[in-house]
Chain A
Amino acid sequence: MSLYAMDRARLGELYEALGALGRVYLPTRKNGASAFLPYGEEGSEADLSLLLCDKSPKDLFFPQSEELVKFRLTGAEIALQEAARQKEPFVLFGVKACDLQAIEVLDRVFLAEPVDSFYQSRREHATVVALACARPAESCFCTAFGIDPTSPQGPCDAVAWLTESALYLRPCTEKGETIVSCFAGFAPADEKEVAAQQAAARAVLGRLPYGQLDLSRFGEASDELALFDHPAWEELSAHCLGCGSCTFSCPTCQCYDIRDYDTGKGVLRFRCWDSCMYKDFTMMAHGTPRKTQKERFRQRFLHKLVYYPKNNGGLFSCVGCGRCVKKCPANLHMIRVAKALGGEPRAQ
Chain B
Amino acid sequence: MRELTNAICARAKELLQSGAAGRVLGWAPGEFFYDPTPGVFSEGRLNELVYDGFTAANLSKYCIAESQKEGKVLVLLKPCDSYSLAQLVKEHRVKRENIYALGIPCEGKLDMRKARAKGVEGALSFREEDGQVVFETLYGEVRLAREELLLERCLCCRGREYAGVDETLEYALPELPKRDRFQKVAALEEQTAQERYAFWRGELSKCIRCNACRNVCPACSCVQCVFDNPQSGVAAKANSTEFEESLFHIIRAWHVAGRCTDCGECSRVCPQSIPLHLLNRKFIKDVNELYGEYQAGADPAARPPLVNYTPEDPEPSAVLERGRA
Contacts and interface: CB of A to CB of B under 8 A. Distances in A.
Nearest to A210: B31
B210 A245 contact: yes
A139 B210 contact: no
Interface in B126-165: 137-139
A336 B237 contact: no
20 contacts: A33-B206, A33-B272, A54-B272, A135-B122, A136-B122, A137-B121, A138-B32, A138-B122, A209-B31, A239-B62, A242-B215, A243-B211, A247-B210, A248-B210, A248-B271, A275-B210, A331-B36, A333-B31, A335-B31, A336-B37
B202 A31 contact: yes
B133 to A, nearest CB: 16
A333 B237 contact: no
A135 B139 contact: yes
Interface of A: 30-33, 43, 51, 54-55, 64-65, 135-139, 204, 207-210, 235, 238-239, 241-245, 247-249, 257, 259, 270, 272-275, 278-280, 283, 325-327, 329-333, 335-336, 339
A243 B212 contact: yes
Contact of A135 (B121, B210, B273): B121
Contacts of B238: 64-65, 259, 270, 272
A248 B208 contact: yes
B228 interface: yes
B210 A280 contact: no
B323 interface: no
Given A65-B238, A138-B32, A325-B35, A208 B138 contact: yes
A270 B230 contact: no
Nearest to B229: A280
Nearest to B205: A31
A243 B220 CA distance: 13
Identify whether the interface residues of B are mostly helix, strand, loop, or mixed: loop
B269 interface: yes
Contacts of A209: 31-32, 124
A235 B39 CA distance: 8
Contacts of A139: 32
Interface in B22-62: 30-32, 35-40, 57, 62
A273 B305 CA distance: 39
A239 B271 contact: no
A244 B269 CA distance: 12
A208 to B, nearest CB: 7
B228 A243 contact: no
Contacts of B308: none
A43 B271 contact: no
A330 B57 contact: yes
Nearest to B266: A329
B57 A32 contact: no
B237 A274 contact: yes
Contacts of A33: 206, 272-273
A329 B32 contact: no
A138 B142 CA distance: 14
A138 B124 contact: yes
A257 B237 contact: yes
Contacts of B257: none
Contacts of A326: 112
Interface in B87-145: 112, 121-124, 137-139
Interface of B: 30-32, 35-40, 57, 62, 112, 121-124, 137-139, 202-203, 205-206, 208-212, 214-216, 224, 228, 230, 237-240, 265, 268-269, 271-273
B136 to A, nearest CB: 10
A52 B271 CA distance: 13
B304 to A, nearest CB: 26
Contacts of A336: 30-31, 35, 37
Nearest to A207: B138
Given A55-B208, A64-B208, A204-B138, A331 B30 contact: yes
A260 to B, nearest CB: 11
Contacts of A274: 237
Given A204-B138, A243-B212, A273 B271 contact: no
Contacts of B139: 135, 204
Contacts of A243: 210-212, 214-216
Contact of A259 (B40, B208, B228, B237): B237
Given A31-B202, A65-B238, A208-B138, 4 more contacts: A207-B138, A238-B39, A259-B238, A329-B268
Contacts of A43: 202
B228 A332 contact: no
A65 B40 CA distance: 38
Contacts of A65: 238-240
Contacts of B206: 30-33
A-B pairs, top 6 by smallest CB distance, nearest first, are A329-B269, A331-B35, A272-B238, A327-B271, A241-B215, A65-B238
A30 B112 CA distance: 19
Given A138-B32, A207-B138, A329-B216, A273 B121 contact: no
- Which of A30, A43, A336 has its CB near the most chain B CB atoms (within 10 A)? A336
A239 B30 CA distance: 13
Contacts of B210: 243-245, 247-249, 275
Contacts of B112: 326
A280 B30 contact: no
Contact of B216 (A64, A137, A241): A241
A331 B28 CA distance: 10
A273 B230 CA distance: 16
A245 B212 contact: yes
A138 B211 contact: no
Contact of A332 (B37, B40, B122, B205): B37
Contacts of B208: 55, 64, 244-245, 248-249
Contacts of A280: 228, 230
A242 B269 CA distance: 13
Contacts of B228: 278-280
Given A136-B138, A257-B237, A259-B238, A329 B39 contact: no
A31 B203 contact: yes
